[in-house]
Amino acid sequence: MRFRFSRILRKYELPYTLIRQVEGHYNSVGVYVPPQDIKLPLRGSVQPMGDSFLQEDGGKYNEDDRMLFSSYHHQNGDVIEFEGRQYTIHMDDNWSAYDDVSEYKMKRVSTHDPV
């Protein structure tokens, strides 16, 4: 039995951007095309971390980190841009067999070290 939460999520969704880097390759003429960033606009609900996540695992997460609820299935290590800040996806649990919305923990990328 799958729970359908996407209709509830739609009410609280905001736009965010998935940034994926395409590997460099040689085109049909033999000229090397360098790696490029592809930006994919998506929608989801970005929420602050709860106190229980901030204190577990010896302080693995801090106040700048966020939770993402989305019907799009992300991969571990995906880079997300939301409100001018970049985050990396950290997947812990996969609940896709039970519902149509996925929950991800996002770790903020340092402003001095952009991805």
The pLDDT of residue 80: 93
User: How do the domains of the chain map onto residue ranges?
Assistant: 6-25+32-108
pTM for the model: 0.76
Residue type, 79: V
pLDDT at 115 over 60: no
> pLDDT tens, 53-105?
666 655 677 778 899 988 888 888 899 999 999 999 987 666 667 677 888 88
pLDDT at 30 over 70: yes
State the pairing for strand pair 25-26/32-33: antiparallel
Q: How many CA atoms lie within 13 A of 10 on its CB side?
A: 6
CATH classification of 6-25+32-108 is 2.40.10.270, yes or no? Answer: yes
